[in-house]
Amino acid sequence: MEQTLVKEIEALKVKHNAVVLAHNYEPGPIQDLADFLGDSLALARWAQKSTAEVLVLAGVYFMAETASILCPDKTVLIPDSGAGCSLADTITPEQLISWKKQYPDATVVSYVNTSAAIKALSDYCCTSSNAVKVVESIDPDRDILFLPDFFLGSHVVRMTGRKNIHVWNGECHVHAAIENEDMVNKVRRHPGAELLVHPECGCTTRALAIPPKEATSRVLSTDGMLFYARTSPADTFVVATEVGLLHRLRKENPDKTFLAAHDDALCPFMNMISLEKIRDSLRYGRHPVKVASALRTKALIPLERMVAVG
Ligand code: 13P
Ligand code: SF4
């Protein structure tokens, strides 16, 4: 069944001059057939570079919107338009407008996990792999409104030492549920393991407090974890992020052991995408994502800044 679906998808890709871009959290069979697999920043960059006419985003809605904003001449499809993001839903445009009124001179930095309407009200976007760099590129005397992820924002405050960053109180329910106890217990049961933590995790502060003689902790985006695991001499890693990433970590590093800090850290939205839905997306052109021109013009500015900061 899986092989038949893969063949059908391959044929439809050729027919429609399409490519499939998948996020690192997608289920294994989708990762394996993707033309490009990466973190949010890499997917945005790849969408911009691609010469295909149709981009199928195997990921969540804001990723498809981001591709549509960056590539207005391409057809962007998401195989399930209900694939949202609990983190992106933690702030509405009305809330951001009223927050900006409290700090009229502040620079707004939005994590890419936001709607196009929030991006349009922002000065910069960032992803987990470049949030620190983006904030460092902003005048140190300017107040910053960082949204929507509280844990990523706190990490940026810790790394930059800036006192003028105001952080929104949003969270991703998947990463917030990775608790200190789960992570510490896993690390203690595997002496010598390295700990890789995504900055959206509620356990980041606790992870960094683990003494180096017990475990080395690194706070990294999903692509950052992949790069680190390839180059580290360690052979065992405890990974605090969505468990879909383990597929790629294990595939790329067959001699190393990867353990989830929390085995149930599964994003229900990422897992709404299936091979059947990708096939039907290509077959029937469902579901197109097109950001309206006026909104796109505004949302493009912070996104281009994000891509340029690198
Ligand atoms: P990155 O892959 O950019 O680290 O993003 C994590 C995430 O939660 C995407 O929704
Ligand atoms: Fe959103 Fe969290 Fe799922 Fe990422 S893992 S898409 S932040 S709900």
- Mean pLDDT computed over 51-57: 98
* CB of 171 closer than 8 Å to CB of 113: no
Taking the CA of residue 221 as reference, the ligand 1 atom at the shortest distance is 4
Q: Which residue, chain included where needed, has tokens 């995504």? A: 198
Structure tokens of 272?
Answer: 């709404």
Closest ligand by atom to 172 CA: 2
pTM of this structure:
0.95
* CB of 256 closer than 8 Å to CB of 229: yes
Per the CATH hierarchy, to which homologous superfamily does domain 88-171 belong? NadA-like (3.40.50.10800)
Closest ligand by atom to 199 CA: 1
pLDDT in tens, 215-241: 899 999 999 999 999 999 999 999 999
Residues linked to residue 20 through DSSP beta bridges, in sequence order:
56
CB of 265 shorter than 6 A to ligand 2 = no
Q: Which of 17-21, 44-48, 286-290 has the lowest mean pLDDT?
A: 44-48
pLDDT at site 31: 98
CB of 249 shorter than 6 A to ligand 2 = no
Q: Classify each residue of 149-182 as buried b or exposed e, where b means 16 or more C-beta atoms within 10 Å of its C-beta.
A: bbbbbbbbbeebebeebebbebbbebbbebbbeb
DSSP 246-283: HHHHHHH-TTSEEEESSTT---TTGGG--HHHHHHHHH
Residues of the chain with CATH 3.40.50.10800: 2-85+270-291, 88-171, 178-260
- Mean pLDDT computed over 265-278: 98
pLDDT at site 134: 96
Instruction: Give 267's pLDDT tier (boundaries 50, 70, 90).
Output: very high
pLDDT at site 41: 85
Q: Which residues are CB-contacts of 241 (< 8 A; sequence separation ≥ 6)?
A: 175, 178, 196, 197, 198, 200, 201, 222, 225, 261, 265
pLDDT at site 213: 85
Per the CATH hierarchy, to which homologous superfamily does domain 2-85+270-291 belong? NadA-like (3.40.50.10800)
Going by alpha carbons, the residue nearest to atom 2 of ligand 2 is 172
Instruction: Give 1's pLDDT tier (boundaries 50, 70, 90).
Output: confident
Per the CATH hierarchy, to which homologous superfamily does domain 178-260 belong? NadA-like (3.40.50.10800)
- Element holding 217 (H helix, E strand): strand 217-219
Q: Which residue has the higher pLDDT, 215 or 107?
A: 107
- Mean pLDDT computed over 61-83: 97
pLDDT at site 83: 98
Task: Please give the distance, rounded to the nearest whole angstrom, from the Cα atom of residue 146 to the centre of ligand 1.
Answer: 16
